[in-house]
Structure formats: structure tokens, C-alpha cells
Amino acid sequence: MALKILDSCINCDMCDPECPNGAITLGEEIYEIDVDKCTECIGHYDKPTCVSVCPIDCVKPDTDNVENEEVLLAKFIRLHG
């Protein structure tokens, strides 16, 4: 599934440049993840890199957007050919 950033985000800007899909952008108040671009880092890393770099652990699974590995891989192929 895609990931989401919680309201506790402190806008530290650590995650944005690390996302291989350009899925993270600064929204009106905090950073946000584009569901259509988040692949859980499948195809790039063994685990979500935004989770790894976030200093306050505020990136969590988006249970409203549950996707299996097949769907995530298809998204990776669509984004990167």
C-alpha cells in the first residue's frame, strides 16, 4: 500500500529528496505523499526509504490505499518503464 505522512510531520525535508518516485511534496502545511506515485520503494529499495530517514517516525501505511506487491510493481513499471 502507499504510505502517508501524519500531521506530526515537522517539515524537516529529509524524505522529499530521497523518494525515488518524486512522490513526496510539500503540501499546504506538511509534506504529502502522492498515492499514484508511492510504490513502497519496490524496485529501488528493500524497505520504504522515507520511513528510514524520517527522524520522528511519522510515515505510516495508508490503510485507505491498500495495494499488493503486484499492483505496486505495475506502478513501478508505469513510472519508470
Question: Where on the chain is the footprint of ligand SF4 (CB under 6 A)?
Answer: 3, 5, 9-15, 18-19, 21, 23-24, 31, 33, 38-41, 48-50, 53-54, 56, 58-59
Tell me how far apart the alpha carbons of residues 67 and 81 are, in angstroms, rounded to a whole number: 20
CB of 37 to ligand SF4, least distance (A): 7
CB of 78 to ligand SF4, least distance (A): 13
CB of 30 to ligand SF4, least distance (A): 6
Of 59 and 67, the one with the shorter C-beta distance to ligand SF4 is 59
Q: Are 43 and 80 in contact (CB under 8 A)?
A: yes
- Containing 59, the helix (H) or strand (E) segment is strand 59-61
Tell me how far apart the alpha carbons of residues 60 and 79 are, in angstroms, rounded to a whole number: 22
